[in-house]
Amino acid sequence: MAFGKLYGLSSNPRTISILVAAKANDVELELVETQANANADFNKSAAYTKVNPAGKIPAFEGANGYTLSEAIAIAVYVTSQNEKTSLLGKTKQDYASILRWLSFANAELLPRLGGWYRPLLGLEAYNKKTVDDASKAALKNLAILNDYLTANTYLVGERITLADFFTAALLTRAFATVLDKKVRDANPAVARWFNTIVNQPAFKAVVESPVLVAETIKYTPPKKEEKPKAAAPAAAAEPKPEPEAKKPKHPLEALGKPEFVLDEWKRQYSNEDTRPVALPWFWQNYKPEEFSLWAVDYKYDNELKLTFMANNLIGGFHARLEGSRKYIFGAQSVYGTNYNCAIRGVFLVRGQESTPAFDVAPDMESYDYRKLDHTNEADRKLVEDMWAQDVSITVDGKEYPCVDGHVFK
């Protein structure tokens, strides 16, 4: 039986740090995939806020009912379950030094690095100055680590401790995105140490092959064809804005109230087992004259690099679909492996056209929309596979496993 549940995401650095600590100490944890979004329904639920009142990840729930939030506390607690562990140091000074590096990694390194790569990944609004400032602050912190590791093999003492596993884990996403060859060459001690730590069996068991980016990723604004700007009206002729301008109605509102209740379907999908209960419910209640089904696939699979970055693209697209939430449901997933992946999905859309629903997202043009026929067996299977997010797809004769995804509901 597992020692407890870890709420987190397998691609999330703080989650990785605890999974590695658990592996290194033979502690079995059950990973419960939980979004890194304190505003997600599950994260706000009473059940989850009992475990972590902040709604963030990671969080721990022991088989004995003990709950704990905060990555450092969980990593130390999990490690200390192994009475013979050497990962917490030998002396009180060792232990204090380990805490020093855990705190430096969690409160200094990661936030600055995140401030650099998160906007580049589309996880936060992009502002050049903010990103430049974050990258400078992050490189200053990295130099502190590099100076220390120039004179020391490991962070504390002469052998690997939790400080090394934890700090390296927190750097995995940074090495995959912004700490490119140039940065690594400028910080050779950090690069050497990172390589040693991620090649330890406990680390490899969690992250099989950490990515070292060749060149820092660039910010790519959502793809949208420029609409020609209307000529600016002469200042004198400029009409005064309507004081009480009414919010424009969503074009799909004109279709009226459908018989098929989309929210009821979303409830079925959220609360019931997908294949045995929710999907049969869907086909029994689906009204094709009111809602259409669409395969929505990314047009630029060959530009995708890391699977978690592809998954972030889906997350960003779904966030920008917010204005159409009343009219659509869908799931999209990333299939394949790093540098060899594809984004596929299926949406249920009010009406018979896709544009009115997807037009709210500037990046709608990055996707192909293919209308599906609910009476066609292959199309029905596609709907089920995409919504169940539990089977591989075949691309150019090769099997691509489903690695991550988002549901828009």
Ligand X SMILES: N[C@@H](CCC(=O)N[C@@H](CS)C(=O)NCC(=O)O)C(=O)O
Minimum separation from the CB atom of position 83 to ligand X (A): 25
Minimum separation from the CB atom of position 72 to ligand X (A): 6
Q: Which strands make up the sheet holding 4-8, listed edge to edge?
A: 29-33, 4-8, 59-62, 67-69
Between residues 60 and 335, which has the closer beta carbon with respect to ligand X? 60
Long-range contacts of 268-273 (CB under 8 A, 24+ apart): 269/329, 269/387, 269/407, 269/409, 270/41, 270/409
Between residues 106 and 324, which has the closer beta carbon with respect to ligand X? 106
Between residues 37 and 196, which has the closer beta carbon with respect to ligand X? 37
Minimum separation from the CB atom of position 69 to ligand X (A): 6
Between residues 106 and 172, which has the closer beta carbon with respect to ligand X? 106
Residues near ligand X (CB under 6 A): 12, 14, 36-38, 56-57, 70-71, 106
Contact 125, 219 (CB under 8 A): no
**Count of Cβ atoms closer than 10 Å to residue 60 Cβ:** 26
Between residues 38 and 319, which has the closer beta carbon with respect to ligand X? 38
Between residues 11 and 187, which has the closer beta carbon with respect to ligand X? 11
CA distances to 100, 142, 149, 184 from 194, rounded to whole Å, are 18, 12, 10, 10
Minimum separation from the CB atom of position 276 to ligand X (A): 31
Looking up tokens 């959220």, which residue turns up? Answer: 270
Minimum separation from the CB atom of position 226 to ligand X (A): 33
Region of 5 (left: φ > 0; alpha: ψ -120 to 50; beta: rest) is beta
Minimum separation from the CB atom of position 321 to ligand X (A): 19
- What distance in Å separates the CA atoms of residue 176 and residue 172, rounded to the nearest whole number? 6
Between residues 103 and 355, which has the closer beta carbon with respect to ligand X? 103
Minimum separation from the CB atom of position 13 to ligand X (A): 7
Q: Which residue is nearest to ligand X (CB)?
A: 56
- What distance in Å separates the CA atoms of residue 310 and residue 299, rounded to the nearest whole number? 12
β-bridge pairing 402-408 and 328-337: antiparallel
